[in-house]
A and B are shown apart, each in its own frame.
Chain A
């Protein structure tokens, strides 16, 4: 499944059968009539049940990709499947099982939040009108908007609008939730709530595809990530694989810097760096406890031992060769 690639090289399509993917794209490309290449040869493979982080700076093609996934924008080349159904032909089968928030919420300003949700529900011809009150009530409850449901949309704060957008995405039972920048405009408290919500939804078995330009906001909830840069996919894998694949280090605190350095070097660890009271090296395949035992056996006074995983941010900087707007 790990398919990280150099920028410019195409990412291998996943070997999993298409039925196991909530989203699968093959060579998806969009060139707008102005000539701008927004998405270039995209091969996404989003496993069912995953929380899939779709990262990239603003303008890297995330929203265009999401619009293509939902059949709003037609691809110039390539194809894709949603929930195992070929799009855009299969929209009537696939889309009712997909909830979405696309480039911010949009509702009729003069209608109340509640009336807007009724309208969304009326547009879905597979939704049962007999259960709409119940489903709408549950969705409002879930995003904490029950008290403000009767207020006109134009009187909502940015955060409330965002919540209503998420509520609209959850009006029915969904197999896939596509959330484009769901934390935009939310305060830190609201951001935390969205993360909690995403975790809950995922725990119920719904696949969540969440895009963001803010790595830190979704890093904690994602099981998988893909990174876009300038219309191309530069990385795609599970979070664990991404982290393990790159530079986990062991760090030893010790007064015997020289002895510790030679022990680590003798164990065959790469990139051993000794410093004042601290020695570190790439962990590789060795278990940290055996390294500790080895050092204690050689009489090195170990004061502290830590395994340091690189932050995803570091990994991305490594992968993309440049940092991106991690703080917005």
Chain B
């Protein structure tokens, strides 16, 4: 589907070049005037320079190409580009300093009720919202470099913001310094591929009520609170990296009320909690790497029918934490570096089950103040005793086929 969409946008570009006029805009001239003069299907080429135009409205099918990154400056007052027509392409601009407002969500580029729009290879700097899709369908947002230097959640907007849209393709973008790197609300059947979301104030990626979306090969690192996927169904998360989301309220990924989704082949490293699951059901979490996290998976008792299998858990402080004794999820066939069992028949599977829930993790979930005893020798002693004779940790929370060697992931 991605490829079809890509070809479609390219085709539009190609046909436009084929039989339409090309308008040139030089420094000092007005882009808006050129848009007015042009007819649908034309191309506008913009020469280098700084253009301060108090908001440009693109209301017909046009291709806007910047040569050597002409600068569109919003002077911290205006929305810079607003696209209301189908089949518009914006490419090669440097779009800076959009307006800030606490009433309106002013953006550098707004796609408003338009289909088949492409925003490619632009540089966005110091904007409130970066690219804003509102009732957009079949849009392609790719190869943009989006940075801002927001300091607080209130004063910063989202890098790529999509609301009530569908069939979006967002790929190869770099987003940093915004509130949320990528924000999805009521966005369906969209693809997020190969983006880097780094050091955003709140979430690297934020999903709300967005079903049937796919995100693959993205890297989310050092964001204030990691990635949040909430109230969605049928989300596919493959080959992503969740790195260094470290802080007292940070997660690699927060899964809240997610169902029928898949997370596989991801890497979670150095997060406070790699996965935090709440109210989620029927997820398959397999073939992921959990390395050096505070918690591997914090799975609340409100989760059911989740399958956690064939993952590698290496050097995490706690592999699993949960707050209840009811276990409705399965944890089979993982590799746990803390496993101390043996394998007599040499089939690569440990002969005695592994219990990934440590007593102290359970105590802390029940009584948060007990964290005062973190790393106390007393706690070490208790955990030893519990390992030998499990009495408090849930009997059913175990991996009955623990792997002896790390899985090749």
A binds B: no
